Each structure stands twice: as C-alpha cells, then as structure tokens.
Chain A
C-alpha cells in the first residue's frame, strides 16, 4: 500500500484526520458506515486501536493472562478495520484497491474467527 501511494506521489497518511471521506462513496451511506464514522470522531484513529496504557499492560503481564489480553486486543483491532475494508472493497475507484480491500476484509474476518477460537481455548469465554 505504501508502494502504491509512493508511486502516486501521495503521503502514507491523509492530512485530514477523521473518516468523513468514507461518506463520499457512491450512494447513500448505510447505518453501519454512519455509526463507524461517528465512532471514529475527528481523531483519525479507527475504533479498536489499543491504547498506550493497554499496550503497556500487555508488556507487563505474563503467561496466559498476556495471551488472553493479546487476543482480546487483536480481535477488537480486527473488528475495527472491517467496516473500512468492506467500504473500500465496494467503493474504491481502482480495481486493484477494491481487490486488496476485499482480501483484507476476508483475511481479517477469518483471523477474528481463529483468534476467538484461541481465546475460548484459553478459558476466556466468547471474548
């Protein structure tokens, strides 16, 4: 993705923060999309990102507790990426970008399933 942006002469991160750009797709935005954009607010951060405190908590834990927290944070992170990936899979202009976004959505969904399974095996319930 950075390679494409470099070839197009674009920065790796947009100058404007927030996810308002996702409302510019074809057609009326659906409920999931509107909720997602609202949740992102104006911080430029997607929902589900681990906070600095959570990452340091992860570093401090040991053993199964560390594994469980990792799985929880990663499931939440992946879930936060799905609306954006689904949106781009449908609405991106270039077919290569649509294809990549579709694959990201597919892979992240599959990984969420796997992470949730590992979390259950560690006695963490349904995550």
Chain B
C-alpha cells in the first residue's frame, strides 16, 4: 500500500468526483496529472517539536501523531489520547461533517449527505453550549443547503452574526445558498432567504463545495471545486441575496476561501498542485459595475496534493498565510506574502508521522479507515495579529495545538485525539467518516501503479466496506474561547469543549 504512483493519485480523485457528478469530470481531474510544476523542495525544516505532556495526560506512543495499528486492533485507541488538554463537555449526536463552526455559546454540526436517510435528526444540528459541561441539541436547520449537507461551506460571519452555507451534497451540488440570522438567539437561527423571490435557483451557475464570508459579511464566496468555479453572492440584504460575479479560478479544481481584512484580497487554496492563488477581488468587494478578478500571485508545493485553506495572519505588520493541506501527508505550510506577487514558503509544519520515513506505518495504520489518514484539514489561530497559538484538526491525529509566537519555528504544546468510535458505524450517520467517504483507500502516500489504484477502488466499492473507525476524523476548525478553552468538533465524537491544562495556554 505504500508504493503508489502519481497516476494512481489522479485516479483517486477522478473516482471520488465521478461518484458524485458527471463522467466528464474524470477528464477534468485527469488533466491535473500532466502538470510539470516542480514540487516544493526547499530547505525549510518540517518536523515540529512534540508536546511535553504534563499531569493527567494520556499520551500517544513514540511517534508524534500516530495511532499505531496495535492500538487500533487491541482497543487502546478507544480511550483516545490527550496531552495538556482535557474534555469538559460533549454533544456527540449522530456525528458531524467536515466543517462545523461555533460562535458565542452555540455550535453548528454539519451533516453528511450520505447519511441523510438514516438520520433521526435531519440537517445541521444547533448545539446550545450555555453550560459547557452539558452541551445540548437546541434545534436543527433543514433549509435546502443545510439538509443535503453543506460540505465545507458552513461558516459564521461574526460582525453581522450570520450563518451561511451552500449545498455541497455528495461532494458538489448546485444552486442553493442559505443564510441565517444569529443575532437574536444563536441557539435558534432565523432563516432569512427562502427560495421564493430570489435569484438563486437550481440549476444555476453556483456550484457548492467550499465557501466563506468576506470579513464585512456583505459577500459570501462559494468555490465549487470542479472546473475552478468561483461565485460571489451579495448578502448586503440577506433576504434578497443575489450573485454578483461568477467565474473560473484555479482550473481544474479549487478549494477553500479566505480573505484579507478589507475583503479586497482573496486567498484561494488550490488543488493539483496544492498551493495558494492570491486574487485581487476589490472590484467585487467594491461592487463595481463590470467586475474583474485579477491574479496577484501564486505558490505551490506538491503536484499531488490538495490545499484546504490559507489563513492570513501578521506579525508586527509582516503578513503570512498558514495553509493546511489534506493530501499526501503535506501538513501545514507557512507562506511569507510580504510580496504577494511572489509568495514564498517560509516554513513547513508536519507531525512526525507525516515524515517520509513513516510512509509504511501510515499505510498500515490507516488501511480500512477511509480516505483520510494523518492529514491536516482546518486550522485556526487565537488571533490574526501577532497570534500566539495555532490549533489544527489533523484527521486521525486529532486536534493539535502549537505555540507560534515564533511562527517559523512552531512547537507543539498540546493535543487531543478523541476516543475511537470503533463499531459505532450505525449510530453516526451524520459523520462523513462513518457514512460518507469510507469506501476509498487513504491518500497519505501517493505513488505507485495506476492499475493497482483503480483495482483498490473497485475492490472497496464491490465489498461495500465500512470504515473501521479505529481513529476519529477531526476536520473542523478549532475555536479558541477565552481564557483557556478550545471548542472543537470531530466527525465521530461530535462537538467537544476542551480545556488546556498544565499552564500551556494562554501562552505567557
């Protein structure tokens, strides 16, 4: 399983895409394989110093980030692993999907399209966290995008207290954008845009997969993955949300969206190669009559990888991006964007298990547990200006927290990898891990033979294997809640309130 080829990886994506959309998408996905861009091969260090675990920890083994095969088969992984973080409250429900935001005393758990029919409680789960020790289900959101699953597009805009999402469905879906008002009571969001009387309809030129708000909350950006589809929705008046621009950026595939504080610059994560495309979207932010999106610069690091999103931060005025990548054990890249026309990878953050010498262990550990192994997915900082801590969801390595007071030399301070939900497949239809992309082989190691790759897929699909759930999938952005909490959602364990211990955070 450890010797896969670039060609096989291309088949991986093609198979996933074609399971959800038209066969023509295969050609789109495969065109990515011919790229001649040299992979990033700089001399920046990659491994991060492991956390030193204090009292009441339940540490993982000798390799940072690993849930060893023996722990999976012997049941140890069902206890979970923790280091300088403790669990103080949880709402598991029926599991959660890729991206599940929280704001105020509320958390929102997206749902898997694949588990829709099996769920007792349909749509997005609204969790009331007024009592952090006992988070409870408050209500569910069942408008179109929320019902079929918002994939990675469920996002909160803090200034306007809006919750927005596009329909993602099985991977990509069309036409629906839903926006809710949280300002009166975040435990009971109010749906603001019904389908009647607005310009969004099915099918239209809005493809949904990823998405995010402009910081002022007046624009919601939807990136549609396939073809590099990118759409800007004017939400100035949520009741009459309307498309203001649609185009193609980062063909053949694009991904997560983040924006500068002023909303004029868009950082678009790219796929094949994994990287970031920096776009001038000021025409749209300023609502110019015939807007044009201009490329400012780009950077990439791996022809075979999938960047997820890239958070803009600054240190004493010097701007950087922190970019998580969800394929090929790439981890997180720190990008210096002092000159946005020529971004530079300044540091590379990988857990020890992501290093090349552990490829065989990765393959053995994660076999049978679905598409993602020890990959990074979504990160968050405690503040955008001079951040001190970075928390990332690393799928089967759980939640990892790093001291980034020296951004180019991050060091781990804590982790929490929740108990594996082995055997609870039927109780978790809201989890993509349990109900969704469980049938396909892992993407941690991408090199080998194209025919073997295709054969793996055929075999898995024919056998209808369930994921073995021998480690959870943590994929949602953590949230720092002052003074010492971290709110997280993992797919099988659902929403969890964690608290730092042993004085590791706040960082003095």
Binding site for B on A (CB under 8 A): 11-13, 43-45, 49, 51-52, 55-56, 59-60
Given A45-B289, A45-B290, check contact A52 B244 (CB 8 Å): yes
Q: How far is the CA of A52 from the CA of B295 in the complex (A)?
A: 21
Pick the contact of A56: B243, B289, B291, B295 (CB < 8 A).
B243
A59 touches B292 (CB 8 A): no
Contact pick for B290, options A11, A12, A49, A59, CB 8 Å: A49
- Which one, B201, B288, B294, B295, contacts A59 given CB within 8 A? B201
Inter-chain contacts of B201 with A (CB < 8 A): 59
Is B245 an interface residue, CB under 8 A from the partner? yes
Partner of A12, one of B199, B289, B295: B295
Q: Does chain A have a CB within 8 A of B262?
A: no
Interface residues of chain B, those whose CB is within 8 Å of chain A, are 199-201, 204, 242-245, 288-292, 294-295
Given contacts A13-B294, A13-B295, 10 further A-B contacts (CB under 8 A): A13-B292, A44-B290, A49-B290, A51-B289, A51-B290, A52-B242, A52-B245, A59-B199, A59-B200, A59-B243
B289 proximity list for chain A (CB < 8 A): 43, 45, 51-52
A11 vs B291: C-alpha distance in the bound complex, in angstroms?
17
Contacts of B200 in A (CB 8 A): 59
CB of A76, distance to nearest CB on chain B (Å): 13
Report the minimum CB–CB distance from B134 to chain A (whole Å).
46
Select the residue from A44, A51, A59 with max chain B CB neighbours within 10 A. A59
CA distance A12 to B244 in the complex (A): 21
Q: A49-B290, A51-B289 are in contact. Are A11 and B295 (CB under 8 A)?
A: yes
Q: How far is the CB of B413 from chain A (nearest CB, A)?
A: 42
A59: B residues at CB distance < 8 A: 199-201, 204, 243
Taken together as a complex, chains A and B put the C-alpha atoms of A69 and B85 apart, in Å, by: 60
- Please give, as numbers and ranges, the residues of chain B lying within 8 Å of A60 by CB-CB distance: 199
The answer to whether A12 touches B294, judged by C-beta atoms less than 8 angstroms apart, is: yes
Residues of chain B lying within 8 A (CB to CB) of residue A51: 289-290
Would A56 and B242 be within 8 Å (CB), given that A43-B289, A51-B289 are in contact? yes
Q: Which residue of A lies closest to B242 (CB)?
A: A56
User: For residue B291, which residues in chain A have a CB less than 8 angstroms away from its CB?
Assistant: 52
Nearest to B243 among chain A residues (CB) is A56
Residues of B within 8 A of A56 (CB): 199, 242-243
Q: Which residue of A lies closest to B296 (CB)?
A: A11
Complex CA gap A56/B231 in Å reads: 13
Residue of A nearest to B293 (CB): A13
- Which chain B residues lie closer than 8 Å to A52 at the CB level? 242-245, 289, 291
Q: Write out the residue numbers on chain B whose beta carbons fall within 8 Å of the beta carbon of A13.
A: 292, 294-295
A74 to B496, CA, bound (A): 53
Q: Which residues of A contact B204 (CB under 8 A)?
A: 59
Q: Report how far A54 CA is from B244 CA in the complex, Å.
A: 10
7 tightest A-B contacts by CB? A45-B290, A56-B199, A13-B294, A49-B290, A59-B199, A56-B242, A52-B244
**A46 to B290 CA separation, bound complex (whole angstroms):** 9
Closest A residue to B290 by beta carbon equals A45
A56-B199, A59-B199, A59-B204 known; A44 vs B242 contact (CB < 8 Å): no
CB distance from B229 to the nearest CB of A (A): 15
Contact across chains for A11 and B243 when beta carbons are under 8 A apart:
no
Instruction: Determine which residue in B243, B244, B290, B291 has the highest number of CB atoms from chain A within 10 A of its CB, and name it.
Output: B290
Chain B residue at minimum C-beta to C-beta distance from A13: B294
**Is the CB–CB distance between B294 and A11 below 8 Å?**
yes
Q: What are 10 inter-chain pairs, A to B, with CB distance below 8 A?
A: A11-B294, A12-B294, A13-B292, A43-B290, A44-B292, A51-B289, A52-B289, A56-B243, A59-B204, A60-B199
Q: How far is the CB of B248 from chain A (nearest CB, A)?
A: 10
Please, which residues of chain A bring their CB within 8 A of the CB of B245? Answer: 52
* A101 CB, nearest partner CB in chain B, Å: 20
Give A55 to B204 CA distance when docked, in angstroms.
11
Closest Cβ neighbor of A14 among chain B residues: B294
User: What separation, in Å, do the CA atoms of A12 and B289 have in the docked complex?
Assistant: 20
Closest CB of chain A to B268's CB: distance in Å? 14
Q: Would you give the shortest CB distance from A70 to chain B, in whole angstroms?
A: 13
